[in-house]
Chains A and B, each alone.
Chain A
Amino acid sequence: MPRLNNPRVTLAIIAVALVLPLVIQNFLTFQLTLVLVYAIAIIGLNLLTGFNGQFSLGHSAFYAIGAYVAAMLMDKADFPYAMTLPVAGIACFVFGFLFGLPALRLEGVYLALATFALAVATPQILKLSPLEHWTGGVQGIVVNKPEAPFGLPLTEDQWLYYFTLLITIVMTVLAHNLVASRTGRAMMAIRDNPIAARSMGINIALYKSLTFGVSALYTGVAGALGAIVVQFVAPDSFTFFLSISLLVGLVVGGVGWIPGAFFGGAFVLFVPNLAESFSKGLSGAVYGVMIIVLIYVLPTGAAGLTRAASRWWRAKA
């Protein structure tokens, strides 16, 4: 897998990312923040599906849980927004780990169905009347947009962008280190050949469940961030279609390549809008065509493209 080995490239990208919100409109900053949020969620999905081979259609559930934990804490308990992230993360980790346990027995499509059940169940549970007091029922919860701290001369959108960017960088580095570590290799061994992995002494059950937990944690943190950025959570924002979008983002970015999540996040956020600008009535069709064409042309997603580009670059040098 291509690695952004060149630290100069990475620093250049981060420098650009830092400067961007100061030169673009607020709304675009808001959109870029969401791209980062989706990227974190997609990293989570990549850890589970790309690196560990467990197929999940249910990540919208973890995103939703993270979002609702954040929203409820801010709304009902006056939690400071930054503190909701670790709580959401831990809650999702526990939930993901617990879900991963029975899921251990399921393979491939059967696991897909179980996670799919999770995705479909979540909005329905969130809408349940007995729980309305906590969840806000169908109408959801509205949260306040945080202001820049210490009186910094930033708009709320800009501040949130930098806040999200910081979290994103931290989590990306952590994910990268995880994948490059022994644990990461164990995860991939389980994906590629579980029987051989077990015969080498890897505790498959433990690793698979842990991966589920970590994956859920990432997507949950993304959900919490998303709730803060969008200022609003409602059950119908977290349907099965969110799971599908995350999956599409994963494939577009390139399975098994962490930085691909950013391409994926951008695709998921911007392309539907792009499709709509092509043709209002047929926006869905245009979106579908774009996905299919992308799969034909770039079956390994942005990962493959970057790999080819870096090969070309190195050949020139």
Chain B
Amino acid sequence: MELLLQQILAGIATGTIYACIALAIVMTYQTIGHLNFAQGEMAMFSTFLAWQLIQWGLPYWTAFALTVALSFAGGVLIERIVLRPIHNAPVLSHVAVFIGLLAILNSLAGFIWDFNVKPFPTPFGTAPLIANGFIDAHQAGMIAVTILLLAFLYGFFRFTRVGLAMRASANDPVSARLVGIRVGWMAALGWGMAAAIGAVAGMMIAPIVFLEPNMMLGVLLYGFAGAVLGGLGSPAGAVIGGLIVGVVENLAGTFIPVVGGELKFTIALAIIVAVLVMKPQGLFGRPVLHRV
């Protein structure tokens, strides 16, 4: 029982990271209608940036803030420069470009910072937080940061004019144009925010998986799974999806004999696919009605 609880909590803790990546993916999907395969590499690159800033002597939270800001700018630039020319291209062209981005970022990171595994500091320490070591300080910190992030996003979208404009843009770009919203810039903003969220996720998970150019691949996959499970329609769904994936992954690894550890990811995915077959729009997705 104790083990179960501990694993669930640990699952929730890692789940928050998947939730963040899932959130970034959903944001991109909502603003430009495509799944960004390079989301993980962008987050990884941001984390390396943070590491570099810390190496140069900046205190952790300063490096954190600066990295988030730079990642935001980077996301905006990528959308405006790389994605604008293929705005109307078919899905597969977008997929190919994202793959190209993925390759570029991964290779660049390895080139600049090499492929050796590096430790990444945590601002929360690793002392166990509750008596029996159910959860340690860093895991609690991850949950706290994610909650803060969600609160910020909720407030932004609900109560600000820009947030409203972005929502309108994502819902109905044609009508958004008709009220004067610059839809292209809304997409760029969406990318910037997704990049920033990814950076936060990367910096939170790096202390656990250690920093190296391939660190985000697994996390990205889990993030995708969480986003799709949640239904790609809502940030809340993405978060819940990510948390569920984290918990399932942990429980599968711990409790399924023999193959549990080896097949963690496969089992998590199998469950998700099963859910999708029963509910094709994800757990919280609304069925899209087409007029025939």
Contacts and interface: CB of A to CB of B under 8 A. Distances in A.
A and B touch in the complex (CB under 8 A): yes
Interface residue SS majority, chain B: helix
B100 A288 contact: yes
Interface in B72-116: 82, 85-86, 89-93, 95-97, 99-108, 110-111
Interface of A: 49, 55, 102, 105-107, 109-110, 112-114, 116-117, 120-121, 124-125, 127-130, 195, 244, 247-248, 250-252, 255, 281-292, 294-296, 299
B280 A291 contact: no
A307 to B, nearest CB: 16
A128 B269 CA distance: 17
A289 B104 contact: yes
Given A285-B108, A295-B89, A128 B97 contact: no
A129 B262 contact: yes
Contacts of B35: 109, 112
A116 B292 CA distance: 30
Contacts of B96: 247-248, 251-252, 291-292, 294-295
B105 to A, nearest CB: 8
Contact of A291 (B100, B224, B225, B258): B100
B19 interface: no
Contacts of B85: 296
Contact of B263 (A105, A107, A128, A292): A128
Given A107-B280, A114-B276, A288-B100, A130 B224 contact: no
Contacts of A284: 103-104, 106-107, 110
Chain A to chain B: the 4 pairs with minimum beta-carbon distance, closest first: A284-B107, A288-B103, A117-B269, A288-B104
Contacts of B105: 288
Contact of A292 (B101, B221, B225, B290): B101
Contacts of B65: none
Contacts of B272: 113, 117
Interface residues of B, number: 47
Interface in B214-271: 221, 224-225, 228, 232, 258-259, 262-263, 265-266, 269-270
Nearest to B96: A251
Nearest to B271: A117
A102 B277 contact: yes
11 contacts: A105-B280, A110-B280, A110-B282, A117-B225, A195-B290, A247-B95, A248-B96, A282-B111, A287-B103, A292-B96, A295-B89
Nearest to B213: A284
B263 A288 contact: no
A106 B282 CA distance: 10
Contact of B99 (A107, A121, A248): A248
Interface string B13-43: 0000000000000000100000100000000
